[in-house]
Amino acid sequence: MAEPSVFTRIISGEWSGHFVWRSNDVVAIMTIAPIRPGHVLVIPARQVDRWTDLDAATWAEVTRVAHVVGSVMDPLYPGTRVGVIVAGMEVPHCHVHLIPVRHEGELSFALADTSATPESLAGEADRIRAALTAAGHNEASA
């Protein structure tokens, strides 16, 4: 068995994370190094390294959750579109990046803010959770 990923450790509660969505199959959390404020990661609960190794049902659920979360993010970040990146290089656990961007040039990991504070991440998570809850999604989770 593979070493537990940072995401597996966050999902299990071993490490802390700012959750905006939690279900049995998929979670969404704030990244600790956001490219832009509101940068969310959508992650299958079961640790699978590559998105192409996920079974079709799990991949469908990951993309469904990304669509739901991205849809509520759109009005929260005026003047942006929610960009999507599936890179999978930095953590050996499939994840989808949802990033509010003003132009494609902002879809760059070189722009990651490695000094984002826990308070700023918590604030963005609160905004997104509130929007999910207002849209009737019970999976919105702290």
DSSP 8-state class, residue 52: G
How many CB atoms are closer than 10 A to CB 52? Answer: 10
CA–CA distance, 105 with 54 (Å, rounded to integer)? 29
Q: Which of 121, 37, 140 is nearest to 82 (CA)?
A: 37
From 18, 39, 95, 97, active-site residue: 95
Say how far apart CA 48 and CA 33 lie, in whole Å: 22
Active site annotation includes 97: no
73 φ/ψ angles, rounded to the nearest 5 degrees? -75, -35
Question: Annotated active-site positions, please?
Answer: 95
